[in-house]
Structure 1
Amino acid sequence: MKGSLYAFLAGGFITLQGVANARISRDIGTWQTAAMTQFTGFIAALFILILVRDGHWKMFSQIRPLYLCGGALGAVIIFSNVTAIHQIGVTLSISFLLIAQLGLTFLVDSNGWFGVSKQKMDRSQFIGIAVMIAGVAILGF
C-alpha cells in the first residue's frame, strides 16, 4: 500500500514538475531549465539526506558505473517532457510518458534487466497496455 502511495505521489509530482518547467523554459530556455531543475533537485535531496542522516554511503563503491549515470538521464527527461508539453500539451505528453514507462518496464520485468527478478507477463498485461494506447489515441483526436 505504501508503495502505491509513493507511486501516486511521484506521478503527480512528475506532472507538476513538467508544467512548471514548461513555463520556466519560456523565459530562460529548455536546457537552462533542465540544468536549474537538476541543480535544485540535488540541493533538495542533499538537504533531506543531511536531515535523515542515512548512513549507506559505504555501499557506494559497489554500484556499477553504468547505474551511476541514471541521474544524467534526468536532463534528457526534463528536456523531452518540456518540449513535448510545448508541442502537444500536458495531457498528451503525460499520456505518452506513461505508455513509454509501461512499455519499457514491461521489457525490464519480462527480461530481468538491471538485476530485477524476471516476471512472467500474461495476456492481461498486454491488454492493459493496448487499452492505454487506445486511450491516448482517443485523447489525441
Structure 2
Amino acid sequence: MMLGIILALLAGGLVSLQNIFNTKVNEHTGSWATTTLVLGMGFAASLFISLLVEGRGTFSLQHMQPWYWISGMIGVGVVICLVKGVRQLGPTFAISIVMTSQLGFALLWDSLGWLGLDQVPFTWNQLIGVLILLGGILVFKFGGTSENRGSKYESH
C-alpha cells in the first residue's frame, strides 16, 4: 500500500510539472502543436522504455477489449483541455478542478462498476469528501481579499 501511495504522489507531481511545461510550449505554439509534441514525445519515450523492459512482450496485446484502444485518443482530449484550462484559469485553480473532477468521476465509475471495474459500494462519506474538496477550491479561489480575487489568467 505504501508503494501505491508513493507512486500516486509522484504521479500527481509529474502531472503538475507536465502541465507547466505544456503551458510554456503552448505559449510558443498552438494547442494542437503542443498536444502533438507532448503525446509524440510520450509515445517515443514509452515505446523505448517498454522495448528495453519488456522486449517483444510490448506487442503482446491479446485478451484486450478493442474499446480500450481509444485511451490514446482520450489522452488527446486530456492534454488539449488541460492546456487550455491552465491558460484560462492558471495552474493551481485548473489542476484543483481537474483533481476534484477525477475524484468525482472515479467515485461514479467505481460505484456503478462501469468500464469493467469491480463495483465498489457507494457511501455518503465518499461524496462528502468530494464536496469538501470542491468547497476547498471555492475557498481557495474566492476566499481571499478583493485584491487577490482578480487573476491575470481571466483576461485570456
Q: TM-score, normalised by structure 1?
A: 0.94
Aligned mates of 2:133, 2:141 — CA distance in 1: 12
Aligned residue type for 2:8: A
Question: Does residue 6 of structure 1 match 2:7?
Answer: yes
2:93 aligned with 1:87, yes or no? Answer: no
Tell whether the 8 Å contact from 2:35 to 2:80 is kept in structure 1 after alignment: yes
1:53-104 deviation line (CA, Å, top 9, x unaligned): 252643x132122110001111111111111111110111110100110011
> Partner residue of 2:146?
none
In the TM superposition, what are the counterparts of 1:3-82 in structure 2 within 5 Å? Answer: 3-53=4-54, 55=57, 57-58=59-60, 60-82=61-83
Moved more, 114-123 or 30-39: 114-123
Q: Which runs of 4+ in 1 moved over 4 A?
A: none
Q: Partner amino acid for 2:70? A: C
Unmatched runs of 5 consecutive residues or more in structure 1: none
1:131 is aligned to 2:127: no
Deviations 1:15-56 (CA, angstroms, capped at 9, x unpaired): 111111011011011110000000000011011111112526
Unaligned runs of 5+ in 2: 143-156
Query: Pairwise mapping of residues 111-126 of structure 1 onto structure 2 (< 5 A)?
Result: 111-126=112-127
For 2:28 and 2:45, how far apart are their aligned partners in 1? 23
Q: Return the letter of the residue paired with 1:66.
A: W
TM-score by length of 2: 0.85
SS of structure 2 residue aligned to 1:27: coil
